[in-house]
Amino acid sequence: MDTLDLRHTPLIDPFARQISYLRLSVTDRCDFRCVYCMSENMTFLPKRDLLSLDELDRLSTAFIDMGIRKLRITGGEPLVRRDIMQFFRAMSRHLDSGALDEICVTTNGSQLEKHAGELAATGVKRLNVSLDTLDPQKFAEITRWGRLDQVLRGIDAAQNAGMRVKINAVALKSGNEDELLSLVEWCHQRDLDLTFIEVMPMGDIGNEDRLDQYWPLTDLKARLAQHYTLEDLPLNTGGPARYARLVETGQRIGFIQPMTHNFCESCNRVRITCTGTIHTCLGQEGSMDLRDALRSDVPMALERAIRTAIGQKPKGHDFDYARGEVAGKISRHMSHTGG
């Protein structure tokens, strides 16, 4: 394969899936300590281990040259990284050129009041905001360090800046079960999209128990169906969610079910950590370090490394709670992988 082909030939994995979606973590740090995501006393990576903003740019650009059309910026909490808006301003050139369809952000919302206007100015049109409860006390308990009012102001700022906001709510048994209908109604009133997510077995979360937290979305959907008519939608937004419409309100609700409904057959995405490690499957330990190739003077070293990694992408994950135990557990935290 010659140099031109290597740079511009689409990325195809061993199962004939074209990779068009990159989820890029820009930091493992977060100003929350959500009980399903990390332990309260986290040890974060030394800042010197993180890719520089310029390296994040060059890495993203290499993927875009090879056919990535959607770029999602994640963390940790991406907006706590110092000078991160420089990176968003740099990436906007790929939107302007048409090489990239969209740049999205997944955030806890804590810094949105400060950054929403500038994010919109750089071309970000859609945000995912993690919000599991509308009860201030429960919010403080789930996030350990977070303040609900700060996040709600951030959501206001994002909507006022013209961005479309989707709420991501992790389904938590004995955590937000009693808020199912109130979350749905609140999102309807605020014109916010809503997606529910099952707890995934990733990383050590201290004294918390995954099985105690796990609320299968099959049960959640059944409860919704007691109050609404659910109409399945054949919608595919490029991510793992399946969608249904609530006939009575017209709302579109997403369901991400890695435990009860494997979504791997159409996987078109890879994740890169803030240190330059590529994970081609969220639910497998396999990975490859791209940092040396990124910093190499050898022509096409990065492009070759990326294609080698894609060539090792597995068919799917092994997450499983079905036998009353946590199977397929992944040692790394979601905050390091890139939510």
The set of residues, in sequence order, having a beta carbon less than 8 Å from that of 228 and lying 6+ positions away, is 184, 246, 247, 248, 249
For 250, residues 6+ apart whose C-beta sits below 8 A from its C-beta are: none
Q: At which residue do the structure tokens 């993203």 appear?
A: 60
The DSSP line for 127-184 is: EEEE---S-HHHHHHHHSS--HHHHHHHHHHHHHTT-EEEEEEE-BTTTTGGGHHHHH
Q: Is 281 annotated as a binding residue?
A: yes
**76 annotated to bind ligand:** yes
> Any binding-site annotation on 270?
yes
266 among the known binding-site residues?
no
Report the first-to-last Cα separation within the chain, whole angstroms. Answer: 34
103 closest CA partner among 87, 83, 81, 82: 87
106 assigned binding-site residue: yes
Cα four-point dihedral sign 233, 238, 240, 246:
negative
Strand partners, 18: 12
Q: Check the annotation: does 166 bind a ligand.
A: yes
264 is in an annotated binding site: yes
Residues 6+ apart with CB under 8 A from 50: 26, 27, 28, 274, 275
User: If you write DSSP's letter for every residue of 87-110 in order, what string do you get?
Assistant: HHHHHHHHHHHTS-SEEEEEE-ST
Handedness of CA 183, 188, 192, 197 (dihedral sign): positive
Residue 36 known to bind ligand: yes
- Reading the block at residue 6, the tokens are 């290597």
Q: Is residue 271 annotated as involved in ligand binding?
A: yes
Contact 193, 166 (CB under 8 A): yes
Q: Which residues pair with 1 in a beta bridge?
A: none
130 is in an annotated binding site: yes
Q: Is 200 annotated as a binding residue?
A: yes
Binding site membership for GTP: which residues? 23, 72, 106, 166, 269-271
Binding site membership for [4Fe-4S] cluster: which residues? 30, 34, 37, 264, 267, 281
Binding site membership for S-adenosyl-L-methionine: which residues? 36, 76, 130, 200
Binding site membership: which residues? 23, 30, 34, 36-37, 72, 76, 106, 130, 166, 200, 264, 267, 269-271, 281
